[in-house]
């Protein structure tokens, strides 16, 4: 992947720097955005192929909730904060899996940082009920979505 750098100078003299193609190469896309002493890494993951249909399941965190729900998208929202903060634990992932069991969706959209992306990866696996079973290879891993 090629590294692309862009600088945007604002009217007040501040500069926004955007760099893509250098970090998070396993993600479908990523960008590092810098301004002053602040730096943010944003990543996006997605399936290689789009499956037909409009239903999908965004996994995000509560602070985006008012913005996401206002869009009236035909989907089921899962807010990660409801299940705990920080790195995903087996218990956190299993509670989310239990809550979405029976939900029909063809696509998973993870909006957020590493925890959200890690949890989103579980939703593409066929018949997964227990995250620990997947990590310990007690079940056959089959990507379904």
**Residue 75 sits in the same domain as residue 17:** no
Please report the pLDDT score of residue 17 as a whole number: 92
| Residue 142 is assigned to a structural domain of this protein | no
**Residue 24 sits in the same domain as residue 69:** no
**Residue 72 sits in the same domain as residue 129:** yes
Alpha-carbon torsion 123, 68, 81, 32, what sign? Answer: positive
Kindly state the percentage of the chain with pLDDT values over 90: 9
pTM: 0.50
Range of the domain at 84: 57-135
Phi, psi of 21 (to 5 degrees): 95, 0
| Residue 112 is assigned to a structural domain of this protein | yes
16 versus 118: the higher-pLDDT residue is: 16
Phi, psi of 36 (to 5 degrees): 60, -130
Report whether pLDDT(54) > 60.
no
Report whether pLDDT(77) > 70.
yes
**Residue 40 sits in the same domain as residue 65:** no
Please report the pLDDT score of residue 79 as a whole number: 76
**Residue 30 sits in the same domain as residue 91:** no
| Residue 21 is assigned to a structural domain of this protein | yes
Report whether pLDDT(24) > 80.
yes
- Please give the average per-residue pLDDT across 39-44, as a whole number: 84
Please report the pLDDT score of residue 27 as a whole number: 79
Pairing of strands 38-44, 57-60: unpaired
CB-based contact 115:88 (threshold 8 Å): yes
| Residue 86 is assigned to a structural domain of this protein | yes
**Residue 31 sits in the same domain as residue 68:** no
**Residue 71 sits in the same domain as residue 128:** yes
**Residue 67 sits in the same domain as residue 31:** no
**Residue 66 sits in the same domain as residue 94:** yes
Longest dimension (CA), the chain: 58
143 versus 9: the higher-pLDDT residue is: 9
**Residue 65 sits in the same domain as residue 130:** yes
Q: What is the mean pLDDT of the chain?
A: 78
- Please give the average per-residue pLDDT across 135-143, as a whole number: 83
- Please give the average per-residue pLDDT across 66-89, as a whole number: 72
- Please give the average per-residue pLDDT across 47-61, as a whole number: 61
| Residue 49 is assigned to a structural domain of this protein | no
Domain count, the chain: 2
| Residue 143 is assigned to a structural domain of this protein | no
**Residue 103 sits in the same domain as residue 64:** yes
């Amino acid at each position: 992947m090629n590294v692309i750098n862009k600088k945007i100078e604002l009217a007040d003299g501040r500069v926004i720097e955007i760099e893509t193609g250098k970090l998070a190469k396993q993600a479908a896309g990523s960008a590092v955005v810098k301004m002053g002493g602040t730096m943010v890494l944003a990543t996006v993951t997605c399936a290689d192929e789009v499956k037909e249909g409009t239903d999908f399941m965004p996994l995000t965190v509560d602070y985006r909730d008012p913005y996401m729900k206002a869009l009236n998208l035909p989907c089921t929202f899962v807010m990660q904060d409801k299940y705990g903060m920080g790195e995903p634990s087996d218990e956190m992932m299993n509670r989310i899996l239990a809550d979405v069991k029976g939900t029909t969706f063809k696509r998973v959209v993870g909006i957020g940082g590493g925890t959200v992306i890690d949890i989103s990866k579980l939703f593409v696996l066929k018949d997964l009920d227990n995250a620990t079973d997947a990590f310990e290879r007690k079940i056959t891993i089959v990507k379904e979505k």
